[in-house]
Structure 1
């Protein structure tokens, strides 16, 4: 029988406990430079990616995540490289092996019709709108539009250049640094200097008008269809107060801008990206019906985007914190107190099956309601235990110490114990690692 050799490091996956086939070990990406030419009517994307990375060990071959597309050419350090395609993978064999610690560049030319990736959570990635396009990548959709090391812990900087038809507005998760118009097309150039996970990068194209979201020490703006301008003004009318409340609880906003995009199509849920959030037209009604989602997505800029999970099993550190931000906003804006919200949701959780570990929910239930609500209840139990002064000092320290980094549950519980000055195993063990719902403090 022929012996099957194990894959070389960097070749086939990341080893993530939930999504081991996504991402690639053996190297870390420092920077993505993406040049995209997108034809809206035909949904045709012609692109070049230049990826700067560092080998964490000797590499004779490596792989990148990429779904679909015809790859025309691959070069490593300027020399033609052999390449093959696998399911969701681009396998690359450089002309010369890469030693551990070496910085290298991979250039890929590719073309095709981008489409979402099917997975446990539906269709994820680049998607056509009725008149435009958007990207919704959490957790595995980034390879639907660019070759990447698709793991949340491999954060890099980005430069994205996109050319498309001039009547359309383009928004990318980054700072707009240049805009050049020709006879029928416009080229937009965006920089994302902060380390960013692949799933938090997005492109949004539509016939949008831009409006100001309120003053502050950094730009805050929105892009939306003209027909939604009036109801949007009410639904997002308290945005600047939300930002003040969250900065008061979590510390300074971690990016240089904040952008809200409202598509002209409906969306089941808002989409988070780094420095940017996306809402469907169905979530804008002029009655603030979905205001909790506005604050939820804003909170992700601290918890999920600046602080990104080191492994998908820690997803409660994103969703539990953003859910608790909803309760803090309710309290600050004259609604139900956080304690009242905790009582309401505890009653609902108590009436449903207790069959999930918050800190390890399993790949199929990463976005289960229990992760969100029991995660928030965990934070409220901690707040009740250590008091407001220590609790909010802890949240600010958590956001500051790990700014633009990656985090785990163990890091948070350890910091909480240092902040409180006492062991907290008796609190965290039942709330995070037991399926049974503990008593509400």
Structure 2
């Protein structure tokens, strides 16, 4: 463009201002180094959509609060066999006579001990219920030790494959065994409580394996203990709260490639620890990409707040999973594509530190991480950013039905819908960024959301409440239509020009009948032979007409040129009959106005013209003899211009700035 004129026309959306949604959440901080430390968490009502076991079994699991898992297991790089002892430290939230957990039926339990006393267990499928040797009183602490063994199933119930997997990574020829528990597959390799709402306060992972193997897991490596029979034990420990599906293992003949990164406001550089395949060409292939983790850590720490687990580490364990899985402090990845690495790292904030309260709100994890890909490109590889946005836009448009909110949260394929959860979820954030007007406000929203729910769980209304508080905006309609509603607006655009005036008409239909009309703003870039003008107009009804002035002769009109909106343009054409239609309808402009308001169309001249407030009280009688009215003396706010001719009235809303 040779030059640009910005004409911004904003309309106030009147009536129906909804109050903020209130919610209370317990926040738990990292526990002390003592692995059996107890932190007190507030019990909150839990959603029924959290998990795949029966409601009765979930109710039993909600009777206690997990504080610590210790996994002491045996694994090899080429086998699905798992065995060992898992210890669970918990607090009773009510008087308990039974203890419930989950473990796949492939595994045999050889011993179960509660507070040092052997107990019996009843199992039905993956549900296990223990008859406690004695009642555990409310607020009482107890320990359960479960010794088991077996072979993990291969039913592909996880987001990518199984809860526990083994395979050969090509072309490197490396044999790897790894876990991937999201969303409901942790029970395929260890005894667990699969409810998102109850994060463990800490986790210890010990894995005994062949001495040629390395084992990647959560937190810091405490020691490698030599054992008989050419075995050794990797002993990992994390002192940060962790959701069950983020506990992980990866076993292979790895080589370690690690370095440190300085983060703003952190005294000591933090560790970036990577376990990669032991192949002579591996680091030559991936070193530059792995090194990008450092700038990404610094970027996200600056925008979102300091990396949540900086006192321990961040890093990667390689496995042939065809993508990545954001295991807390040590992501499992098959390669190191820039956007993949950015996505999984962003999950450490969005998903790991702040976790969706139940799987219906998974966009809070995946949509946030996906949009972080775009943010990373904008800041580090800006030439690729628009291409990502175009691709995400097309992906989201490929699913005209269905909501970002997951109505069936037991359907794994729907939970991880690329179009709805990842790409449309990312566009929800992109559009919110536009709605709040300033990047500083947008990132403050994210920082405050992170601060309020760190190491805890949240749902969409929690995020909405924070966004409203920080921005000062009412966002009820925004979240109702873009997260809980379905589809996107499909816009028919027609326009005409008469002298300096341009008439623009929009007609919209929703791609889904569930949300037939969207309320939003749309940018239109008016190309003329003199100057380009950017006009921002509201889209809020099925059909609307707008009039404004431009310099020069209009050559074309671009809809949403910067791609801030999820929408499709069905048609975009010039139509001179709009001029006739305009003359039969009343239009006021500019709206909002600072002082002068022009009136076009209708059946004027008018017998009476009155400015009234929203309660119908007369504010000012005006004259329209010259086709306009002056209201510089009217206080800022929303008003209605009431026009009368004979027995016919016309009412037009406007906003006085």
TM-score in same-fold range (> 0.5): yes
- Measure the CA separation in 1 of the matches of 2:158 and 2:165: 17
Deviation digits for residues 221-260 of structure 1 (CA, Å, limit 9, x no counterpart): 2111132111111222322111111111111000020011
In 1, the alpha carbon distance for the partners of 2:159 and 2:379 equals 33
Change beyond 3 A, Cα 1:132–1:377:
closer
Please report how far the alpha carbon of residue 159 of structure 1 lies from its aligned counterpart in structure 2 after TM superposition.
Answer: 1.3
Match of 1:257 in 2: 313
Deviates more, 1:199-208 or 1:422-431: 422-431
Unpaired runs of 5+ residues, structure 1, are 1-13, 285-289
Question: Is contact 1:126–1:145 with CA below 8 Å preserved after alignment?
Answer: yes
Does residue 1:392 correspond to 2:443, yes or no? yes
When residues 373 and 138 of structure 1 are mapped into structure 2, their CA distance, relative to the original with a 3 A threshold, is same
Q: 2:425 corresponds to which residue? A: 375
Partner of 1:147: 191
| Greater Cα radius of gyration, structure 1 or 2 | 2
C-alpha spacing 1:311/1:348, structure 2 compared with 1 (3 Å): closer
Give the 5 Å matches for 1:51-70: 51-67=88-104, 68-70=106-108
Number of the residue aligned with 1:300: 347
Distance change (3 Å), C-alpha of 1:173 and 1:336: same
Counterpart for residue 4 of structure 1: none
User: By how many angstroms is 1:44 displaced?
Assistant: 3.4
- The residue aligned with 2:86 is 49
Shift of 1:358: 0.8
Contact 1:117/1:144 (CA < 8 Å) preserved in 2? no
Corresponding residue for residue 324 of structure 1: 371
State the alpha-carbon separation in 1 of the partners of residues 339 and 443 from structure 2.
20
- Matched with 1:129 is 167
Q: 1:199 to 1:237 in 2, by over 3 A?
A: same
> Which range is displaced more, 303-312 or 229-238?
229-238
Matched, 1:168 2:225: no
Q: Which residue of 2 aligns with 1:229?
A: 283
Q: Between 338-347 and 197-206, report the one with greater CA deviation.
A: 338-347
Aligned residues of 1:15 and 1:25 also touching (Cα < 8 A): no
From 137, 144, 152, give the equivalent of 1:114: 152
Residue 118 of structure 1 deviates from its aligned partner by 4.1
SS at match of 1:410: helix
1:338 CA drift (Å): 5.7
Residue equivalent to 1:178: 223
Distance in structure 1 (CA, Å) of the matches to 2:386 and 2:444: 19
Aligned-pair distance for 1:150? 1.1
Shift of 1:39: 4.6
Distance (whole Å) between structure 2 residues aligned to residue 69 and residue 151 of structure 1: 21
- What's the secondary structure of 2:326's corresponding residue? strand
Q: Report the CA distance shift for 1:213/1:373 in structure 2 as closer, same or farther (over 3 A).
A: farther
CA deviations 1:311-342 (Å, max 9, x no partner) are 11110000110011000011001324767744
Greater share of helix: 1
Report if the CA contact (8 A) 1:253-1:302 is conserved: yes
Distance in 1 (CA, whole Å) between partners of 2:351 and 2:151 is: 30
State how far apart, in whole Å, the 1-side matches of 2:159 and 2:402 are: 18
- 1:148 alignment partner, SS class: coil
RMSD of aligned alpha carbons: 2.1
Instruction: Give the distance between the partners of 1:138 and 1:125, measured in 2 at CA.
Output: 7
Summarize the Cα distance change of 1:389–1:155 in structure 2 as closer, same or farther, 3 Å threshold. same
Q: Work out whether residues 158 and 193 of structure 1, in 8 Å CA contact, stay in contact via their aligned partners in 2.
A: yes
Quick one: which of 235, 252, 258 aligns to 1:189?
235
Moved over 6 A (4+): none
Quote the residue 2:480 is aligned against.
429
Mark the CA change 1:75 to 1:347 in structure 2 (over 3 Å): closer, same or farther.
closer
Paired residues, what number? 418
More off after superposition, 162-171 vs 106-115: 106-115
Q: Go from structure 1 to structure 2 and tell me whether the alpha carbon gap of 1:261 and 1:395 turns closer, same or farther (over 3 Å shift).
A: same
Query: For the structure 1 residues 117 and 52, does the alpha-carbon distance in structure 2 shift closer, same or farther, using more than 3 Å as the test?
Result: farther
Q: Which structure has greater strand proportion?
A: 2
- Give the distance between the partners of 2:459 and 2:365, measured in 1 at CA: 11
- Separation in structure 2 between the aligned mates of residue 326 and residue 151 of structure 1, nearest angstrom: 28
Q: 2:468 aligned with 1:417, yes or no?
A: yes
Partner-residue secondary structure (3-state), 1:119: coil
Assess, with a 3 A threshold, how the Cα gap between structure 1 residues 42 and 272 changes in structure 2: closer, same or farther: closer
Secondary structure at 2:275's aligned position in 1?
strand
Instruction: Quickly say closer, same or farther: Cα 1:205–1:121, change in 2 above 3 A.
Output: closer
Q: Name the CA distance, whole Å, in 1 between partners of 2:260 and 2:117.
A: 49
> Post-superposition shift, 1:425?
1.4
Partners of 1:32 and 1:18 in 2: CA distance: 20
SS in 1 for 2:428: helix
Q: Residue deviations 1:248-292, cap 9 Å, x none?
A: 1111000020011123xx322212201111122xx35xxxxx211
Q: Indicate yes or no: 2:242 matched with 1:204.
A: no
The equivalent residue for 1:9 is none
Task: Note if 1:278 corresponds to 2:332.
Answer: yes
Q: Is the 8 A contact 2:177 2:251 kept in 1?
A: yes
Match of 1:248 among 302, 306, 309: 302
In the other structure, the counterpart of 1:366 is 415
SS at 1:17's partner residue?
A: coil
Q: Distance in 1 between matches of 2:478 and 2:183?
A: 29
> What is the distance in 2 between the residues matched to 1:353 and 1:373?
10
Contact 1:117-1:141 at 8 Å conserved across structures? no
